[in-house]
Amino acid sequence: MTNMQKPQSCKPLAAVLLLLMILATSAVAWAKPAVGTPVPYLEKVRHHADQDSFRIVLELTAIPAYTVSVTETPHQVEIELPDTVNRSAVGQLSFVDPFIDKLRFVDLGGGRFKAVVSLKLPVLPKVSMLSSPNRLVVDLLKNYQSRSEYVIAPGLIYREFLAGRSAGPVKAHLLEVDFKAGYELRPVLSNDSVAGIEALSEMAARSQAVAMINGPYYMRSGEILGLLKIDRTLVSTPDTPRTSFGVLPDGKIIFDSPAYSGHVELPDKTKIPIDGVNRGRGESELILYNTYYAYWTLTSGGGREFLVRDGRIVDIRNDNSVIPEGAVVISASGRQAWLMADLKIGDPLKIVQTLGPVWDKVTQAVGAGPCLVKNGEIYMTTLGEEFGSDVAGGRAPRTALGITKDGKALLVVVDGRSRASVGYTLLELARFMLEQGAVEAMNLDGGGSSQMIVGNQIVNAPSDGRERRLGAGIAVVKTKQQ
């Protein structure tokens, strides 16, 4: 489901159109000759291209009436000359240009014709008239910028950006959230569990979110790749420390790359490291499952599982144990299971987990990465956080989250992989976040996962052409006091 309309709840604040939006049919120019002007003839067609624009010059015996419009399907600029006769002998011109495909003249009959410029990528037309000789000059601008701004509600401002660049157009969506107006950020799991995936719109509806973006990396099974913490409970832990944002009890947003450490302590004081939380158990691993994972542990044979409540073992099973409320399951295989073979129901089993003294206090947290902005400067951690070309390479749809100097959140989604928007590189995304006032910012999952919902509408254009089912999202919700 892709809905390109503006959110119905938006109220225009200052539709600051620095330049015209170009992706919808619209007339952009009109001129009318004086009464008694002789019939204009098109004598010659010239063109010139550079990195910033493509110029088409129509040499005429007189300046005619004309209209210029842009259409999205197909992408083209139409210059209609209703009272002009074409005697230039030009029927069609093809161009070698990354934005402009060809120019052709279409006879409309009755002395009317139009010039149609077929586009490879969107441009912004700018029309001017010159004399001696008479010329109609159409500059097709490749570099341009526009910004529209809407108030969703007090404390929520949605902005839409469109920029024409030599690499192609880019469309970005930004939601500014003022926490002082009674909002907070909360991670939301698909189907309220780790196992399984779900459309972002379904998560937003269930969580009563006023807005939502996609969040962490995930597997098709729904397992979260990286840190996730909900209501002070660890839902997923990172194998490699990567950039995360966290919400402190006072509502302050912090960014860092916290490392996870955990172990279980047996009655004889033997400590066995916890290899992960709420993910599939591999060979010779110890995994902790809590009720955020699923109804069962979804494990198969070859292991041993210990149901722990209030620090004591209350049940022991081999696999696929039920995870009851108020308890966790410690699932071990290989050597770890062998070390725990003598445990019995009633034995104490101490569980220790930490992200460090600061991040242990965090109530909500989402990890992804890499870092984009730190202390008001571009700070990229792509190599240090071991990201490959699937995340770091080239232009793509992107999602990011940042915080401003005055504590407002910036939720950003950039469209990509289309003629309407080619996307951002990570460096371009970092620059954009900095330009919008972020003093701290991080990258989130991108590509076909990049989605933004405002109200009950998807405001961006997902590159899959539809909603992708996700493992989790980041919701903007009203605080409980509201």
CA geometry: angle at 270 spanning 265 and 272, to 5°? 65
Query: For the residues 410-422, what does the mean pLDDT come to?
Result: 95
pLDDT at 470 over 80: yes
Please tell me the pTM assigned to this model. 0.84
pLDDT value of residue 18: 37
Top pLDDT among 99 and 471 is at 471
310-342 pLDDT, tens digit each: 999 999 999 999 999 999 999 999 999 999 999
The whole-number pLDDT of residue 165 equals 84
Predicted confidence at residue 63, as pLDDT, reads 84
Average pLDDT, integer, range 406-415: 98
Going by C-alpha positions, the residue among 315, 334, 218, 336 that lies closest to residue 272 is: 336
Mean pLDDT throughout 173-182? 98
Contact (Cβ atoms closer than 8 angstroms) between residue 128 and residue 152: no
- Banded pLDDT at 64 (limits 50, 70, 90): confident
Residues 209, 472: Cα–Cα separation, whole Å? 13
When the pLDDT of each residue in the chain is averaged and rounded to a whole number, the result is: 91
Asked if pLDDT for residue 36 goes beyond 80, the answer is no
For the segment 403-426, the average pLDDT, to the nearest whole number, is 96
Determine how many CB atoms are found less than 10 A away from the CB of residue 239: 12
So where are the chain's domains?
A: 23-141, 154-258+359-478, 261-354
Q: Is the pLDDT of residue 304 over 70?
A: yes
pLDDT digits (tens, 9 = 90+) for 279-299: 999 999 999 999 999 999 999
pLDDT digits (tens, 9 = 90+) for 393-404: 899 999 999 999
CATH 3.90.1150.10 fits 23-141, yes or no: no
Give tens-digit pLDDT for 180-237.
999 999 999 999 999 999 999 999 999 999 999 999 999 999 999 999 999 999 999 9
Give per-residue pLDDT as tens, 105-141: 998 877 678 999 999 888 889 999 999 899 999 999 9
Q: Is the pLDDT of residue 15 over 50?
A: no
| DSSP state letters, 81-135 | ETT-EE-S---EEE---SSEEEEEEEEEETTEEEEEEEESS--EEEEEEETTTEE
Q: Rounded to whole angstroms, how far apart are CA atoms 321 and 75? A: 57
pLDDT, position 29: 45
Distance CA(317)–CA(415), nearest Å, equals 48
Residue 26 has pLDDT above 50, yes or no: no
Confidence of residue 12 (pLDDT cuts 50, 70, 90): very low
pLDDT score of 432: 98
482 has a pLDDT exceeding 70: no
Task: Answer yes or no: is pLDDT of 4 > 50.
Answer: no
In this prediction, residue 35 carries a pLDDT of: 56
pLDDT tens per residue across span 244-277 = 999 999 999 999 999 999 999 999 999 999 999 9
- In degrees and rounded to multiples of 5, residue 336 shows phi and psi of -60, -40
Q: Does 51 have pLDDT greater than 80?
A: yes
Residue-level pLDDT at 200: 98
> What pLDDT does residue 82 have?
81
